[in-house]
Amino acid sequence: MKKKSSIEICLFPAAGYGTRFLPATKSMPKEMLPILTKPLIQYGVEEAMSAGMHTMAIVTGRGKRAIEDHFDISYELEHQIKGTSKEKMLADIRYIIDKCTFSYTRQKEMKGLGHAILTGQPLVGHEPFAVILADDLCVNEAEGVLAQMVKLYETYQCSIVAIEEIDPEQTDKYGVIAGVEIEPGIYRVSTMVEKPSPADAPTNLAIIGRYILTPDIFDILQQTKPGKGGEIQITDALMEQALQGKVIAYKFRGKRYDCGSIDGYVQATVELYNEMKDAY
């Protein structure tokens, strides 16, 4: 098992409606969509575990009970396949269930990612914590993105966002940062804007769905007014920390698939299949 991390809790905001995948997401959470045989959220939990975290806090919403069932024992099914060749297909999920603690809370109204994170406060308490948006699937040959970010947190002791360079025409889909590059690929953030038009974007450095947040973010989120799209935006709250020099942006090593979009989802499925087909 990995050594204990300086960050123990990983929060998964998973209450969004996932409208881009309707009707599949009508009664099933987007986070349960599979890439090959594993649901997206399981990839996220595995990434958090490989960064040394074992407390998974999940913000769910109506119709998301499948997530809770996935991270629980299924006695009947396990009894049925015990001793058959299929038993090994549950080995990974059994390991996760054994090693991790899961807690859940419901976001009653979908008021945005910032609001979803604030809803998770009772599960997190007063510690620094990680956030994974499970629809951003990150793959690496060596170290997972969150594990890379935990190392950075140990140096900088402040909030950290993962970024990547995007096509400048796509800035209106992301939170975009600007800052001073203090080490190769590591920026001290001075500006953050949520979904700017290409003309207004300060750079093409976009925030992806991996964060490490210090717990003062909750007090800031309490005060954060609805921003872009009428939603409470985590980017706006992080900007408050950035004004104090307390946000680092990190160009992670690895590849991200935007599995919240059809294109990204299909690309992830095809590429992971090509890599792993021999195992099936």
Q: Smaller CB distance to ligand UTP: residue 111 or 188?
A: 111
Minimum distance of ligand UTP from residue 229's CB (angstroms):
9
Question: CB of 21: closest distance to ligand UTP in angstroms?
Answer: 6
When asked if residue 173 is in the footprint of ligand UTP (CB under 6 A), the reply is no
Residue 161 found at the interface with ligand UTP (CB under 6 A)? no
Using the minimum distance from each CB to ligand UTP, give the nearer residue, 16 or 128.
16
- x/- mask, ligand UTP, residues 30-69, rule CB under 6 A, reads x----------------------------x----------
What are residue 129's DSSP bridge partners?
213
Tell me the residue nearest to ligand UTP as measured from the CB.
16
Q: What angle (nearest 5°) sits at the alpha carbon of residue 249, between those of residues 52 and 1?
A: 10
Residue (of 49, 41, 55, 51) closest to 13 by Cα position:
41
134-173 per-residue burial string, b: 16 or more CB within 10 A, e: under 16: bbbbbbeeebbbbbbbbebbeebebbbbbbbebeeeebee
How far is it, in rounded angstroms, from Cα 37 to Cα 218?
Answer: 36
The pair of three-digit structure tokens given for residue 13, joined into one six-digit string: 């905001």
Site for ligand UTP contains 260 (CB under 6 A): yes
**Least distance to ligand UTP, CB of residue 149, Å:** 18
Alpha-carbon distances of 178 from 173, 174, 175, 191, 247, rounded to whole Å: 16, 13, 10, 5, 11
Gyration radius of the chain's alpha carbons: 18
Please report whether residue 112 would count as binding ligand UTP according to CB under 6 A: yes
Residue in 9, 51, 67, 116 binding ligand UTP, rule: CB under 6 A: 116
Q: Cβ neighbours of residue 7 under 8 Å, at least 6 residues apart?
A: 51, 52, 53, 127, 128, 129, 130, 150, 153, 212
Do residues 63 and 110 touch, judged by C-beta distance below 8 A? Answer: no
The residue count of the chain comes to: 280
**Residue 82 structure tokens:** 């015990």
Sole window of 41-49, 75-83, 108-116, 271-279 interacting with ligand UTP (rule: CB under 6 A): 108-116
Range in contact with ligand UTP (rule: CB under 6 A) among 11-19, 77-85, 216-224, 272-280 = 11-19
Distances in Å between the Cα of 66 and the Cα atoms of 57, 69, 117, 199 are 15, 5, 20, 41
The structure tokens 């995948």 sit at: 21
Q: Which stretch binds ligand UTP (CB under 6 A): 13-21, 39-47, 123-131, 173-181?
A: 13-21
Segment interacting with ligand UTP, rule: CB under 6 A, options 1-9, 37-45, 107-115, 247-255: 107-115
For ligand UTP, which residue of 10, 11, 16, 96 counts as binding (CB under 6 A)? 16
CB of 60 to ligand UTP, least distance (A): 8
Any contact of residue 93 with ligand UTP (CB under 6 A)?
no
Any contact of residue 14 with ligand UTP (CB under 6 A)? yes
Sites of contact with ligand UTP (CB under 6 A): 13-20, 30, 59, 107, 110-113, 115-116, 133, 135, 260
